[in-house]
C-alpha cells in the first residue's frame, strides 16, 4: 500500500513538472534566456520534491518497520541515525525502548525458566487450573501423588480423573487447607488458592506429603509406649508367675477338699498371666521387626501355600477362594517370611469382614508397569468413620481387636518400600500392593 502510494506521488510530480515544462516552453519559446532559467528551476523543483518524498516515505518506512518488529516481538533489531534531528530523536527513543523490552523479556524468560525448574524439582505437588477449571500444569510430585502421568492430567477436570484424591480436592473451598487421607494410610496436606492471569483469577492446589513425618512421629510414640508397657508387664508377669508357681507347690499341704479349688484358681491366674504376656508380645514384635532380607520369590506359589494353610478356615466360614490372574508376574524380590505374615493378616482381615458364603478374590496383575496384588472381598466394606483411621497405631474396627495387624502389615510393606492402599468401592473392599 505504501509502495503504491509512493509511486503515485512520483507519477504526480513528474506529470505536473512535464506540464510546467511544456507550458514554459510554449510561453517563453522566443525568449531563450528566460526559458532556460525556468526549465532549470523546474528541474531543481523536481529534484527537491523527489528528495522530500523520499525523506517522507523513509520516515513512514521506519515507523512501519518499527511497528512490525514490535508486533512480531522482535526486540533485537535497532535503527541507525538518519541525519534528521526529529527522526534521530525518534530513532533514539525507539532504540532505548527496544533495549528495555529486550532486557525485560530476557529477565522474564530467566525467571520463568527458574520457576519451571523450581516447580519441577519441588517436593510439593503443584496443580494449576485454566480458566475452564481444567488442569493446565501438574508437576512430577503432583503426578506421583495423583498416581497419573503428567501428560494424562493436562486438559482434564478434576472430576474427570475419577480419583478419590481429585474428588477431595474438588471439594476444597478457596484458601482452605485440609489433611486428606489417601488409600487409608497416606496423609496429604492440601491447600487451594488462586492467582491472577491477564486480569482473571485461576485456581491452584498445593499437595504436601505428610505420611513419612506423621509415620515417624507415630512410630516413635508407639515404640516408646510399647517398650515401657512391655518392660513393666513382663517384669510383673515374670515375678507373679514365679510366685504363683511357688504357691502351687504348697497345694499338697491343704486338705483334699480344698486342694482342687486352690489349684484351679492358681492355674487360672497363671494362664491369664501367660495370655497377658502373649498379648504384649504381639505389640513388641512390631517394634522389633528386623529389616527385610529380600530374595526372588514366586508370589503365586506363596499365595497358594497360604490358601492351603487357610483351607480349613475357608471351609469353616464357607468362603470361596477365587483366583483372578490377569498377568503372569515375574519373580519379586521380598522377604518371604515377613511377606507371608503380612499377607496372612490381610487375607484373614478380609475373611473376617465377610459373612458365610462370601468370595475372596486374589488378583495378580500389572498396574502402571508394576507387578500388583489385590486381595478383594465382598464383605460389608470399610465404615466411613473408620476409613481415615486405618493403619493408625492401636486402632481397630474389631470388637476385641488390638490394632496390631495393620500396624504389622504397614511396617512390613514400608520396610520393603512397596506401595499399598486399602479402599472400598462398588461393593468390594480391596487391599492393593504394588511391588517394585
Residue 112 lies in a domain: no
Predicted confidence at residue 241, as pLDDT, reads 75
The percent of residues above 90 in pLDDT, for the chain, comes to 19
* DSSP codes joined into one string, 152-176: HHTT--HHHH--HHHHHHHTPPTT-
Q: How confident is the model at residue 213 (pLDDT cuts 50, 70, 90)?
A: low
Helix, strand, or coil here: 393? coil
Which residue did the predictor score with more confidence, 404 or 175? 175
Highest mean pLDDT among 79-88, 166-175, 217-226: 166-175
In this structure, the answer to whether residues 89 and 141 fall within a common structural domain is no
CB atoms within 10 A of CB 196: 8
In this structure, the answer to whether residues 10 and 67 fall within a common structural domain is yes
Are the CB atoms for 349 and 408 separated by under 8 Å? no
In this structure, the answer to whether residues 205 and 129 fall within a common structural domain is yes
- Where does a domain end: 242, 268, 287? 287
Q: 200-209 and 186-197 as β-strands: parallel, antiparallel, unpaired?
A: antiparallel
Predicted confidence at residue 101, as pLDDT, reads 86
Predicted confidence at residue 285, as pLDDT, reads 65
Mean pLDDT on 75-79: 78
Q: How confident is the model at residue 247 (pLDDT cuts 50, 70, 90)?
A: confident
Predicted confidence at residue 331, as pLDDT, reads 93
In this structure, the answer to whether residues 310 and 417 fall within a common structural domain is yes
d(CA 132, CA 81): 49
Q: Is the pLDDT of residue 418 over 80?
A: yes
- Tell which residue, 376, 378, 381, 375, has the closest CA to residue 358: 378
Helix, strand, or coil here: 217? helix
CATH number at residue 358: 3.30.565.10
Which residue did the predictor score with more confidence, 226 or 74? 74
In this structure, the answer to whether residues 7 and 28 fall within a common structural domain is yes
Q: Is the pLDDT of residue 53 over 70?
A: no
In this structure, the answer to whether residues 223 and 305 fall within a common structural domain is no
pLDDT digits 0-9 by tens, 81-98: 767 777 778 778 888 888
- Where does a domain end: 235, 263, 287? 287
Q: How confident is the model at residue 299 (pLDDT cuts 50, 70, 90)?
A: very high
In this structure, the answer to whether residues 181 and 201 fall within a common structural domain is yes
In this structure, the answer to whether residues 196 and 136 fall within a common structural domain is yes
Residue 224 lies in a domain: yes
Q: Is the pLDDT of residue 199 over 70?
A: yes
Predicted confidence at residue 333, as pLDDT, reads 94
d(CA 193, CA 127): 11
What size, in residues, is the chain?
A: 436
Residue 113 lies in a domain: no
Which of 52-56, 284-288, 378-382, 400-404 is predicted with the least confidence, judged by mean pLDDT? 400-404
Which residue did the predictor score with more confidence, 384 or 197? 197
Which residue did the predictor score with more confidence, 253 or 60? 253
Predicted confidence at residue 91, as pLDDT, reads 79
- Where does a domain end: 80, 106, 132? 106
Predicted confidence at residue 81, as pLDDT, reads 75
Mean pLDDT on 335-352: 89
Predicted confidence at residue 72, as pLDDT, reads 76
Helix (H) or strand (E) holding 83: none
Q: Which residues pair with 371 in a beta bridge?
A: 366
Q: Which domain holds residue 281?
A: 216-287
In this structure, the answer to whether residues 100 and 180 fall within a common structural domain is no
pLDDT digits 0-9 by tens, 345-362: 899 889 988 889 899 999
Q: Is the pLDDT of residue 204 over 90?
A: yes
Burial 401-428 (b: 16+ CB within 10 A, else e): eebbbbbbbbbbbbbbebbbbbbbeeee
pLDDT digits 0-9 by tens, 111-126: 888 888 888 888 888 9
Q: Is the pLDDT of residue 171 over 70?
A: yes
- Cell output for 259: 486342694
CATH number at residue 196: 3.30.450.20
Q: 428-434 and 370-377 as β-strands: parallel, antiparallel, unpaired?
A: antiparallel
pLDDT digits 0-9 by tens, 393-413: 555 565 555 556 777 788 888
Q: Is the pLDDT of residue 70 over 60?
A: yes
Residue 226 lies in a domain: yes
* DSSP codes joined into one string, 109-135: HHHHHHHHHHHHH-SSEEEEE-TTS-E
Are the CB atoms for 142 and 127 separated by under 8 Å? yes
Highest mean pLDDT among 13-22, 86-95, 193-202, 244-253: 193-202
Predicted confidence at residue 218, as pLDDT, reads 62
Q: How confident is the model at residue 47 (pLDDT cuts 50, 70, 90)?
A: confident
In this structure, the answer to whether residues 272 and 308 fall within a common structural domain is no
Q: How confident is the model at residue 334 (pLDDT cuts 50, 70, 90)?
A: very high
Predicted confidence at residue 327, as pLDDT, reads 87
Predicted confidence at residue 35, as pLDDT, reads 66
> pTM to 2 decimals?
0.50
Helix 405-416 × helix 256-287 angle, to 10°: 30
In this structure, the answer to whether residues 245 and 365 fall within a common structural domain is no
Q: Is the pLDDT of residue 223 over 90?
A: no
Predicted confidence at residue 371, as pLDDT, reads 93
Q: What does the mean pLDDT of the chain come to?
A: 79
Tally of structural domains, the chain? 4
Amino acid at each position: 500500500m505504501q509502495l503504491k502510494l509512493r509511486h503515485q506521488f512520483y507519477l504526480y510530480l513528474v506529470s505536473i513538472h512535464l506540464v510546467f515544462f511544456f507550458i514554459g516552453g510554449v510561453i517563453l519559446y522566443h525568449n531563450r534566456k528566460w526559458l532556460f532559467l525556468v526549465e532549470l528551476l523546474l528541474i531543481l523543483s523536481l529534484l527537491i520534491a523527489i528528495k522530500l518524498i523520499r525523506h517522507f516515505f523513509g520516515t513512514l518506512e521506519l515507523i512501519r518497520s518499527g511497528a512490525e518488529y514490535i508486533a512480531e516481538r522482535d526486540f533485537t533489531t535497532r535503527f541507525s541515525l538518519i541525519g534528521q534531528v526529529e527522526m534521530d530523536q525518534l530513532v533514539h527513543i525507539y532504540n532505548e525502548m527496544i533495549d528495555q523490552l529486550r532486557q525485560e523479556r530476557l529477565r522474564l524468560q530467566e525467571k520463568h525458566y527458574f520457576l519451571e525448574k523450581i516447580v519441577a524439582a519441588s517436593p510439593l505437588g503443584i496443580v494449576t487450573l485454566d480458566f475452564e477449571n481444567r488442569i493446565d500444569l501438574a508437576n512430577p510430585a503432583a503426578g506421583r501423588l495423583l498416581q497419573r502421568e503428567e501428560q494424562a492430567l493436562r486438559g482434564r477436570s478434576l472430576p474427570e480423573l475419577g480419583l478419590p484424591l481429585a474428588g477431595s480436592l474438588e471439594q476444597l473451598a478457596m484458601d482452605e487447607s485440609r489433611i486428606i487421607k489417601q488409600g487409608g494410610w497416606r496423609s496429604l496436606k492440601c491447600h487451594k488458592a488462586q492467582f491472577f492471569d491477564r486480569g482473571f483469577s485461576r485456581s491452584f492446589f498445593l499437595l504436601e506429603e505428610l505420611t513419612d513425618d506423621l509415620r515417624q512421629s507415630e512410630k516413635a510414640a508407639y515404640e516408646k509406649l510399647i517398650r515401657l508397657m512391655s518392660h513393666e508387664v513382663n517384669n510383673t508377669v515374670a515375678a507373679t508367675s514365679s510366685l504363683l508357681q511357688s504357691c502351687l507347690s504348697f497345694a499338697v499341704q491343704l486338705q483334699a477338699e480344698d486342694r482342687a479349688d486352690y489349684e484351679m484358681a492358681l492355674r487360672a491366674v497363671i494362664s491369664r498371666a501367660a495370655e497377658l504376656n502373649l498379648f504384649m508380645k504381639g505389640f513388641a514384635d512390631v517394634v522389633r521387626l528386623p529389616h527385610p532380607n529380600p530374595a526372588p520369590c514366586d508370589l503365586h506359589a506363596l499365595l497358594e501355600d497360604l490358601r492351603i494353610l487357610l483351607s480349613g478356615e475357608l471351609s469353616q466360614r464357607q468362603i470361596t477362594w477365587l483366583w483372578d490372574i490377569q498377568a503372569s508376574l515375574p519373580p519379586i524380590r521380598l522377604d518371604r517370611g515377613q511377606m507371608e505374615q503380612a499377607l496372612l493378616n490381610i487375607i484373614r482381615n478380609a475373611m473376617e469382614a465377610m459373612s458365610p458364603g462370601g468370595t475372596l478374590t486374589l488378583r495378580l496383575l500389572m498396574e502402571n508397569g508394576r507387578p500388583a496384588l489385590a486381595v478383594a472381598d465382598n464383605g460389608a466394606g470399610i465404615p466411613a468413620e473408620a476409613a481415615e483411621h486405618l493403619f493408625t497405631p492401636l486402632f481397630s474396627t474389631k470388637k476385641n481387636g488390638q490394632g496390631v495387624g495393620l500396624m504389622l502389615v504397614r511396617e512390613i510393606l514400608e520396610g520393603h518400600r512397596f506401595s499399598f492402599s486399602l479402599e472400598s468401592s462398588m461393593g468390594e473392599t480391596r487391599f492393593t500392593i504394588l511391588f517394585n
